[in-house]
Amino acid sequence: MIGKDNNKLLLILAFLAIYFVWGTTYYANLLALESIPPFIFSCLRYLTAGIVLYAWAFFSKMAWPDKKTIWVLSVSGIIMLVGGSGLVVYAEQYIGSGYAAVVVATEPLWFIVLDRKRWKQYFSNMKIIAGLVIGFAGIALFSWFTPGSQAGDAAANHKLIGTFIVLLSAILWVLGTLYASGRVKKESSNIVNSCVQLLAAGLFSGIIAVYQQEWIGFSLLHVSGRAWGGLAFAILFGSLIAYMAFNWLVRVQPPAIVSTHTYVNPVVAVFVGWLLASEQIIFKQVIALVIVLAGVMLTQTSKAAISGEEP
């Protein structure tokens, strides 16, 4: 049995993982994309992490869920990790890592828009409606203030493509989470659950890579050292440590508390992108980011009040 002090330490470490590790994986994606196509990157990332967890579960003789639960985990893993995180990697071919993280910050807003069971509660609350308007308006402003926004500019076209892809990824992450919610038993092993999701996502990413013809001409021998470093960071810290921390936290902490990583990730990603990738950031973008986070915070605190969660 875990003591109270150890449990508090685990909580702190888990929150640090989803706050700062996830915030830096956007930069790791950029490094990997230097010589690894996006869906091959996702395939290698998820399969490697999934195999590591499978070995852990196998040698620890952990119980596996029934076929129905495995199906739910597989589908949710594909939607969240391929459609969610995988599309973010794909989008970073068009936009910067910090920019992508800011758009991903809309995930809590999409939880409200897409959770049909609670529409009556949410959309009768003016604070939630105001938060949605503020949050999405902030994204529009951030996009407009980002250099290269002039009409007809090639950079503007790339930015538009990247923005829509990341918005789609945020929607898919939310849909995958909602799909799994209530369908997976809370007492089931976090390691086994994550393993199934990662393996399913890795295999599906590999199939998409075939469809995209990414495997043609690809060789591990031609992968640069920086790309290997980005992939290793994404596997160890992003898919193993942070993802498992997130899966554990959503089972032991109120959703409103866990979702606070949404406020920290874009700030970390923007700073790391500016510091290490020389991504341009101007004061107007910072103001727009604050507007986005204000909208997210307003919706989250109002949603928590309605749901009776801890603020």
Per the structure, how many domains does the chain have?
1
Q: Give the pLDDT confidence of 78-105 residue by residue, as tens digits.
A: 999 999 999 999 999 999 999 999 999 9
Q: Give the pLDDT confidence of 125-182 residue by residue, as tens digits.
A: 999 999 999 999 999 999 888 875 444 566 678 888 999 999 999 999 999 988 988 7
pLDDT-based confidence at residue 202 (cuts at 50, 70, 90): very high
pLDDT-based confidence at residue 1 (cuts at 50, 70, 90): very low
pLDDT-based confidence at residue 76 (cuts at 50, 70, 90): very high
Q: Is 288 within the bounds of a domain?
A: yes
Considering only CA atoms, which of 78, 54, 306, 300 is closest in space to residue 177?
78
Q: Is 31 within the bounds of a domain?
A: no
Q: Is 116 within the bounds of a domain?
A: yes
Q: Is 182 within the bounds of a domain?
A: yes
217 phi and psi angles, rounded to 5 deg:
80, -5
Burial class (CB in 10 A: 0-12, 13-18, 19+), 219: exposed
Domain that holds residue 45: 38-221+277-307
Q: Give the pLDDT confidence of 235-247 residue by residue, as tens digits.
A: 999 999 998 898 8
- Whole-angstrom CA distances from 285 to 139, 146, 158, 161, 289 are 10, 7, 18, 19, 6
